[in-house]
Structure 1
């Protein structure tokens, strides 16, 4: 007697479990032909095709199964898994959410959605989904860690710490929980505790690069440079192509004027000759350190081997533009745009190139399309306003009303201080204790000076909390002064509530200045003047003054600043983050100390 369909199906399942997919498929195919409306058979077919790496056929089989029963959870789960593996994250999330409509308490689906939303930087949504999952199982370590990560990225540090600690109470050697707890402590500027936590994690995974990097970064932030250097070198020894480790090592070496700056790249290239990613990273660092000519040679070498290498085209195009060779810059960017027509960075650079040759109409065509995709992108607005200025457009004045949008005031004297001078003197001394670098950071706008690492307002110094509260109060008053306009891209976002996205401290030395730039992570940006050299505050030579309106890239028109503001101790200056701004150099042995910060509306 031949086996029944049920017996055949059971045997097929056995073959699938033994990963004998071809044999399983040969038995299943005729069975499906006689049972075309059997959802379970189509589901088995999808599993077989997945095992055979026939992903398109797998998706077709799942589609068949779901056509028969749209709410068949095993097939929905497998379809979501398939999309995840194909990096179709939005599609996977959509499928998981469909499962939740019929099974709202499916804990695995809630967890998967939360993890994917975290990966998409949709942390608030992820937090809500994972919080629900945690109510269903408060002792699931993976859910605790994922929820902690959501809160970590939302700067809800206390909640994040609670979740990671709960995970560690259940599994004391959980590396992910230890690593994330270390990151929370680092973000809170509790560097000694962070170091202790990362070192504990390394006892369970001594060679894990992520842990070594995080520990090294803490040592950098505490000024323990030799320890940091040793750890980064250890990582690179294990993985010469770890570009992240190269980057942070050489950032630190530059700031501390270490003679081994860039040695790691050259050493890695000896055993990885012609590696374009390593060469590009070296070229970028050379550019940042003022060695454009050497960088250009490397980039042209990469392009000789592959003339369509888009990252190198972008980098070399910027060198050509800075050198005044606008035609060659445009040529490189046009080629890059042909290769990656949907790449926003390429579009932005191409728009910048059109501005540099006085073709604002072409630039605006690109920028307006980019702004439809990302309406709050500060860079796109910075370049758009420059293009509008070249057209003498009234829209430029509407977007860049310097008189209305640049707000200036002296902060109130913080409680416990007799006057603002006493407060600023104490704040100045406190800030000096957390500036470890001997030189300016490679990837920032300042020249001849130093900058702090983590968010300044998170440092555990009482006077830092004082200045934070004073600046927050002044910002609230500023926001209340702004005019209302629902059509304006900046004013329409003013809810009168805000959160700081970043805060830092800058000390400029003799001849120091800031290159013209905008703030990509802000909506409104601020600068508080803690200490100002006497020649800056007492003369009108405009040394050390802050300028607004002058673009931070080379262009034929050479647009000048529209307005300049004189820094004074105790003064806070606030402005839209898309405003181009920079400072004039000053000649004085006195320091120029500021505490800038960025905010986003809530």
Structure 2
């Protein structure tokens, strides 16, 4: 008996409602019983993509194609999943297939243009989107996409104008209204952003996304208490909007409000104790915040109402591993393997625990498996590098060459009179929080909000342009090697995938970490505390190759780079890095960024 469309719709609704594990189980049963059901395979691809199993999603969509489902929508979904995997040539081919099915399919046209931007060809992307707008002048979707590309490229003024053009086409477009406010805020125009959003509040004030954007503008304007009140009201009125719960928790941490950061989650669970999506989101947030002991405690509470679920085992396994309970964690990973054992995130987390347990061979096997599933998984490569180091395998230095892959480069214009002082003043004005973010590596300092390089401030734009030149020079040093995750070839395009400033004070420092969002990472030192006779050797230096202390490996750094004001250090994003703290009081001001390189 073939599963009906209404039954598939129910599974789709289950996914949309947030019960992704339940939807995965349901659709797995369908495709197992009906391996020629193309519609079911298409839905399987969608659910797997939602669960971040991108390799499985590609397999699901391709099964649907094999079963005869050949629609523009399916090819478009496949293309988006290839984008998730950063397999951009395959994504481009899939978009072409979508447009071959339906040349007028606007979504694929827009996505194909956006892909050009992702591949580092922003000028072509802008031209393509403008061409689409000429053919479809009323398309707010295309207009918003163009604005998004312009914002990503740091053209905040042009992006804001384009969002205004979207609103001229469709005054009630919620996405354009929100994105205009966010763009203004990210551009440093918090007052203008707040005024814009307040003017639209009568129309959109019931939208959770709109209220969330309003809270961001309020915080940027220094109105933290007002933002907190709005967020508390939002989580009560729309408890299913989890970004508000996360924002409320983050606000409690960064601005030291004195309130329980998880109070809204506890309130929801008092009312709906058996709602799995609440537990799933809360566990994820607690892990992000490194509240591992609380995860262990709450896992027991969750089992009392939900039963013995694999996802609870997974969350608790990660937490117990971080608490140094490696054997207990491994038992939990083994129990959760049946459901999650094919996903890259699960495999990489288990590899991390294998390192802690002193099992480099298991680490090697798991990390290689995770890297094969997702070549952009920087944690998989980082753990593989540590496994090779523990095994005395020379491939450690094939992966991370601490001489060739680490380069300290002066930014020439910062040696001009007054340039560093001007940049310092600009950056200091952007640091408003009173405490470091709970999910970041810094200790004893603050981090700026949003994407630094999206600001149109001429001081920031000049810095961005100068850094782009240095990154280009770094990339051109390496010949292309498809087998190596960091050898892209001298003609590779790139784009910034994250940018921020960190201000450490007193004895602040960075714990050892890597960056999952890029290919190349960097620290540009703007202010370095003056030398102090009480400082230990290499105080304040950038430490490369030493793993996080919580892994218990006690491995020395492979390279230590003393900070130089006005110079940046470039290195692969999968390379462990941190800083030695200063023993003397002082300010350490840096700009950090990630770059995604496109082969």
Same-fold status (TM-score > 0.5): yes
CA contact (8 A) 1:175 1:204 kept: no
Instruction: Say if 2:217 is the partner of 1:218.
Output: yes
| Equivalent residue runs for 1:226-305 within 5 Å | 226-262=225-261, 263-282=263-282, 291-305=291-305
Q: Which residue of 2 aligns with 1:534?
A: 530
CA contact (8 A) 2:151 2:454 kept: no
State the alpha-carbon separation in 1 of the partners of residues 276 and 102 from structure 2.
48
Q: Which residue of 1 aligns with 2:586?
A: 590
Q: Which residue of 2 aligns with 1:569?
A: 565
Instruction: Say if 2:383 is the partner of 1:383.
Output: yes
User: Secondary structure of 2:488's match?
Assistant: helix
Q: C-alpha displacement at 1:229, in angstroms?
A: 1.3
State the alpha-carbon separation in 2 of the partners of residues 99 and 478 from structure 1.
37
Q: C-alpha displacement at 1:536, in angstroms?
A: 6.6
Q: C-alpha displacement at 1:338, in angstroms?
A: 1.3
State the alpha-carbon separation in 1 of the partners of residues 275 and 106 from structure 2.
42
Instruction: Say if 2:134 is the partner of 1:138.
Output: no
Judge which range, 500-509 or 539-548, deviates more. Answer: 539-548
Residues paired across the two proteins, number: 526
Q: C-alpha displacement at 1:212, in angstroms?
A: 0.6
State the alpha-carbon separation in 1 of the partners of residues 331 and 460 from structure 2.
49
Q: C-alpha displacement at 1:540, in angstroms?
A: 5.0
Instruction: Say if 2:502 is the partner of 1:506.
Output: yes
Instruction: Say if 2:309 is the partner of 1:313.
Output: no
State the alpha-carbon separation in 2 of the partners of residues 83 and 163 from structure 1.
30
Judge which range, 344-353 or 404-413, deviates more. Answer: 404-413
CA contact (8 A) 1:110 1:130 kept: no
CA contact (8 A) 2:118 2:495 kept: no
Instruction: Say if 2:435 is the partner of 1:439.
Output: yes
CA contact (8 A) 1:314 1:349 kept: no
User: Secondary structure of 1:575's match?
Assistant: strand
State the alpha-carbon separation in 1 of the partners of residues 530 and 574 from structure 2.
30
- 1:453-483 per-position Cα deviation (integer Å, ceiling 9, x unaligned): 1122333444333433443344344444556
State the alpha-carbon separation in 1 of the partners of residues 344 and 247 from structure 2.
26
Residue 556 to residue 306, structure 1, CA distance change in 2 (3 Å): farther
Q: Which residue of 1 aligns with 2:29?
A: none
| Equivalent residue runs for 1:116-135 within 5 Å | 133-135=132-134
Q: C-alpha displacement at 1:311, in angstroms?
A: 4.1
- 1:135-185 per-position Cα deviation (integer Å, ceiling 9, x unaligned): 433234454345545665676756654543333223333333322333333
User: Secondary structure of 1:528's match?
Assistant: strand
State the alpha-carbon separation in 1 of the partners of residues 583 and 486 from structure 2.
36
State the alpha-carbon separation in 1 of the partners of residues 94 and 391 from structure 2.
48
State the alpha-carbon separation in 2 of the partners of residues 339 and 303 from structure 1.
17
Q: C-alpha displacement at 1:595, in angstroms?
A: 1.1
| Equivalent residue runs for 1:385-400 within 5 Å | 385-400=385-400
User: Secondary structure of 1:502's match?
Assistant: strand
State the alpha-carbon separation in 2 of the partners of residues 426 and 150 from structure 1.
28
User: Secondary structure of 2:372's match?
Assistant: helix
Q: C-alpha displacement at 1:435, in angstroms?
A: 0.6
Residue 111 to residue 131, structure 1, CA distance change in 2 (3 Å): farther
State the alpha-carbon separation in 2 of the partners of residues 400 and 565 from structure 1.
16
State the alpha-carbon separation in 1 of the partners of residues 484 and 477 from structure 2.
15
Q: C-alpha displacement at 1:216, in angstroms?
A: 1.0
State the alpha-carbon separation in 2 of the partners of residues 135 and 218 from structure 1.
33
State the alpha-carbon separation in 1 of the partners of residues 144 and 98 from structure 2.
23
Q: C-alpha displacement at 1:352, in angstroms?
A: 1.7
State the alpha-carbon separation in 1 of the partners of residues 501 and 221 from structure 2.
15
- 1:426-469 per-position Cα deviation (integer Å, ceiling 9, x unaligned): 43333221111111001111111100011223334443334334
State the alpha-carbon separation in 2 of the partners of residues 117 and 529 from structure 1.
36
Instruction: Say if 2:333 is the partner of 1:337.
Output: no
State the alpha-carbon separation in 2 of the partners of residues 428 and 463 from structure 1.
10
CA contact (8 A) 1:531 1:569 kept: yes
Q: Which residue of 2 aligns with 1:202?
A: 201
Judge which range, 470-479 or 213-222, deviates more. Answer: 470-479
State the alpha-carbon separation in 1 of the partners of residues 80 and 450 from structure 2.
31
Residue 489 to residue 283, structure 1, CA distance change in 2 (3 Å): closer
Q: C-alpha displacement at 1:402, in angstroms?
A: 0.7
- 1:529-568 per-position Cα deviation (integer Å, ceiling 9, x unaligned): 1122224799552322221112236335432322222223
Q: Could you tell me which runs of 5 or more consecutive residues in structure 1 were left unpaired when the two chains were aligned.
A: 1-20, 22-55, 61-76
Q: C-alpha displacement at 1:325, in angstroms?
A: 1.8
Residue 295 to residue 210, structure 1, CA distance change in 2 (3 Å): same
Residue 391 to residue 539, structure 1, CA distance change in 2 (3 Å): same
| Equivalent residue runs for 1:78-93 within 5 Å | 80=71
User: Secondary structure of 1:297's match?
Assistant: helix
Residue 599 to residue 58, structure 1, CA distance change in 2 (3 Å): closer
Q: Which residue of 2 aligns with 1:327?
A: 327
CA contact (8 A) 1:334 1:350 kept: no
State the alpha-carbon separation in 1 of the partners of residues 388 and 140 from structure 2.
53
Q: C-alpha displacement at 1:497, in angstroms?
A: 5.1
State the alpha-carbon separation in 2 of the partners of residues 98 and 483 from structure 1.
32
Instruction: Say if 2:457 is the partner of 1:458.
Output: no
Q: Which residue of 1 aligns with 2:369?
A: 369
User: Secondary structure of 1:362's match?
Assistant: helix
2:106 to 107, 110, 121: 110
User: Secondary structure of 2:550's match?
Assistant: coil
Judge which range, 386-395 or 266-275, deviates more. Answer: 266-275
2:546 to 550, 571, 589: 550
CA contact (8 A) 1:283 1:296 kept: no
CA contact (8 A) 1:114 1:126 kept: no
State the alpha-carbon separation in 2 of the partners of residues 142 and 286 from structure 1.
35
State the alpha-carbon separation in 2 of the partners of residues 278 and 195 from structure 1.
31
State the alpha-carbon separation in 2 of the partners of residues 183 and 259 from structure 1.
28
Task: Give the RMSD, CA atoms, in angstroms.
Answer: 4.0
What TM-score do you get using the length of structure 2 for normalisation?
Answer: 0.76
State the alpha-carbon separation in 1 of the partners of residues 320 and 81 from structure 2.
39
What TM-score do you get using the length of structure 1 for normalisation?
Answer: 0.76
User: Secondary structure of 2:564's match?
Assistant: coil
User: Secondary structure of 2:408's match?
Assistant: strand
User: Secondary structure of 1:404's match?
Assistant: coil
